[in-house]
Amino acid sequence: MAVKREEKMADGIDLKDIQSRMEGSVSAFQKDLGGLRTGRASASLLDPVMVDAYGQKMPINQVANVNAPDPKMIMVQIWDKSMVGPVDKAVRDAGLGLNPVVDGQNLRIPLPDLNEERRRELVKVANGYAENAKVAIRHVRRDGMETLKKAEKDKEIGQDEARATSEKVQKMTDEMVAEIDKVLAQKETEIMQV
Instruction: Render each residue's pLDDT in the chain as its tens digit; 194 residues.
Output: 444 444 344 445 788 999 999 999 999 898 888 777 666 677 777 888 889 988 899 988 889 999 988 878 889 999 989 889 999 999 888 877 788 988 888 889 888 777 788 788 888 889 999 999 999 999 999 999 999 888 888 888 888 888 999 999 999 999 999 999 999 999 888 888 76
The reported pLDDT for the residue numbered 194 is 60
What is the CATH topology of the domain spanning 40-110? Gyrase A; domain 2 (3.30.1360)
User: Quick check: do 9-33+116-192 and 40-110 share a fold?
Assistant: no
The reported pLDDT for the residue numbered 127 is 92
Domain limits of the chain?
Answer: 9-33+116-192, 40-110
Phi-psi region at 39: left, alpha or beta (left = phi > 0; alpha = psi -120 to 50): left
- Of 92, 97, 110, 106, the closest CA to residue 41 belongs to 110
- HSE-up (13 A, CA, CB side) for residue 22: 31
Name which CATH class applies to 9-33+116-192. Answer: mainly alpha
The reported pLDDT for the residue numbered 37 is 63
